[in-house]
């Protein structure tokens, strides 16, 4: 995922960005964290995704929590 931007034109392909959701996953080596329904701006043409800074901070918090618990699989939804 790229740095957050809001609406408008995709800087990669020129397509139109719209609000949507994505799935974010991280391989921790000993396990996997999957976060579904993550709010994102998504390009309708190339599918590239951008998430806002506050959403990224929440994702980091969830991943750190799973890392501390040493979970093998953690699936959550925002």
User: Is 64 a member of any domain?
Assistant: yes
* Segment 59-77, tens digit of pLDDT: 999 999 999 998 788 788 8
Q: What is the residue range of 58's domain?
A: 22-39+52-77
Lookup: tokens for 8: 């408008």
Each residue's pLDDT tens digit, 7-33: 699 999 999 999 999 999 999 999 999
Q: Does a structural domain hold residue 68?
A: yes
Residue 45 lies in a domain: no
Q: Identify the three-state secondary structure at position 1.
A: coil
């Amino acid at each position: 995922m790229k740095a957050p931007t809001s609406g408008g034109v995709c800087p990669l392909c020129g397509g139109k960005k719209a609000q949507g959701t994505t799935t974010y996953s991280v391989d921790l080596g000993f396990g996997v964290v999957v976060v579904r329904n993550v709010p994102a701006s998504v390009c309708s043409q190339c599918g590239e995704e951008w998430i806002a800074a506050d959403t990224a901070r929440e994702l980091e918090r969830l991943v750190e929590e799973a890392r501390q618990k040493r979970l093998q699989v953690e699936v959550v939804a925002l």
